Amino acid sequence: MRYNFSVSPNFSIFRTPTILSKHNQAAYEPNAFSFEPFHHGKQQKFTQKVKWDYLQGLLRRSTCPEELYCQLVQAIRSVEAKARNCYAESVGFSTKKFVEILLLDGCFISELFRKDAKKELRDPNDPLFTISSLQEYLSHDLILLENEIPWMVLERLFSLTKLSPDESLIQLALKFFSNIFSSYPPSVAPNQSQDIEIKHILDLLRYSLLIPVSSGKFEGKPTEWEPIPYATKMNETGIKFTKAYADSILDINFKNGVLEIPPLSIQETTETILRNLISFEQSYPSYLPIVTSYVMFMGNLIDTEKDVEILSEHDIIDNWLYPEDAKQFFKKLYHGAYAGHFLTFPVK
């Protein structure tokens, strides 16, 4: 069995529901880097060696590597029970093995984010920054719901290995994913992060979409699902489209007959991130289907290649796909997702 009959409020890392994963299994499973117990042992020996190299490099920066390693182990042991409770199925590893997995993966991710932001920390021959295919694998593997590790684990390891007091794990992580949604990098201000409880990297990226949107837009009761007209049909009735200069793809507005939609870049990881955000919203009991509603909204706007053309002409979609593929892109993302209620975007 994959799930308990009762859903603990502590669960935040789930297997993708079969009804979603059957449409594109590759969008939910790691290509090369596994970061948690669900897929442990499936990764290549090369990527495991890279992780150990990163851990050794981190320890060598310390004046007392052995003492730092002991501190890192103790930091994970102190939250072992909480970390296990984040997974929506039993983690069968012993304490020693579980701690080793989280320590190795957590330190690797911390170092990866640091080296992405600070070139002076990189080895000139570091394969993660010299081999483009590995960068693609990482961008994919780090945002999978099944492949997350608890944020509290990352925070504890990061705090013990900070290079400066003002170094921020949140800001480094967001910089790493700066182009994942559009040319506008995701943003969470330091004062805003104090009020949220981040569960893992995928959850942080979801917050980066929600927080910049004007207060109250997603508050209130969701409405019954009502399809909206296609872009072509809207155009025929006199509704105009324009690119919104916003910090989130969710910040859609309708003013004076003009539908303002922030641009979305449809690229290699776009399907992966949107599918996993939908899976997270479908699995986590207290989350509203906000990203799910956005994808449904866009799927309703697009039915033909002409609809794609209208949105592309207004720079709302930066489309790297063939028009025929782009036409079906959004619709296929929410197949199997429950949409009994819908968070209404402001279109009448």
Instruction: Per residue of the chain (348 residues), give pLDDT as tens.
Output: 344 445 677 899 999 999 999 999 999 999 999 997 888 777 678 899 999 999 999 999 999 999 999 999 999 999 999 999 999 988 889 999 999 999 999 999 999 999 999 999 999 999 999 999 999 999 999 999 999 999 999 999 999 999 999 999 999 999 999 989 976 667 676 666 667 899 999 999 999 999 888 656 666 555 555 678 899 999 999 999 999 988 899 999 998 999 999 999 888 899 999 999 999 999 998 898 899 989 999 998 998 889 999 999 999 988 767 777 778 888 889 888 876 555 555 554
Q: In the prediction, which pLDDT does 226 show?
A: 66
3's enclosing H/E stretch is none
Q: In the prediction, which pLDDT does 61 show?
A: 94
Give the pair of three-digit tokens for residue 176.
């790493």
* Domains in the chain: boundaries: 18-176, 223-342
d(CA 81, CA 332): 38
Give the length of the chain. Answer: 348
* Region of residue 336 (phi > 0: left; psi between -120 and 50: alpha; otherwise: beta): left
Chain Cα centroid distance, residue 14: 14
Q: In the prediction, which pLDDT does 143 show?
A: 97
| Closest CA relative to residue 186, chosen from 213, 159, 157, 163 | 213
Determine the residue type at 284: Y
pTM: 0.92
**Cβ atoms within 10 A of the Cβ of 85, count?**
16
Q: In the prediction, which pLDDT does 217 show?
A: 65
